[in-house]
């Protein structure tokens, strides 16, 4: 898949997640968070008001630190597709 196609699929997956109105399971949400942050090269600190949530987010970010941005995009798209496969 070309980089351009990957970027388009990634943006489409982000739109699907953002337009979804029901809550995601916590483990799925953390994976999406970490892969999104890695894919967009956004390494800002987690900004939840609850320290425990920041700890979970930080841990999720550590788990994806050794993958490339493109691999993070691919994995994000795969997670979104698999999540919605059984819900639509």
Mean pLDDT in residue range 55-71: 93
Question: What is the maximal distance between C-alpha atoms in the chain?
Answer: 40
3-state secondary structure of 68: coil
Dist. CA 2–CA 17, nearest whole Å: 23
pLDDT at 48: 78
The pLDDT tens digits for 16-25 are 999 999 999 9
The pLDDT tens digits for 3-16 are 899 999 999 999 99
pLDDT at 53: 87
Q: When comparing pLDDT for 45 and 22, which is higher?
A: 22
pLDDT above 80: residue 75: yes
Cβ proximity of 32 and 24 under 8 Å: yes
DSSP 8-state class, residue 66: T
Matching CATH number, 3-85, of 1.10.1040.10, 3.40.50.920, 1.10.3470.10, 1.20.80.10: 1.20.80.10
Dist. CA 50–CA 32, nearest whole Å: 19
């Amino acid at each position: 898949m070309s980089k351009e196609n990957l970027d388009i699929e990634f943006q489409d997956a982000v739109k699907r997640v953002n337009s979804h109105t029901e809550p995601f399971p916590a483990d799925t949400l953390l994976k999406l968070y970490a892969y999104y942050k890695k894919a967009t090269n956004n390494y800002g600190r987690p900004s939840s008001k609850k320290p425990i949530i920041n700890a979970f987010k930080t841990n999720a970010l550590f788990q994806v630190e050794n993958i490339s941005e493109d691999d993070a995009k691919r994995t994000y798209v795969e997670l979104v597709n698999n999540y919605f496969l059984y819900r639509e």
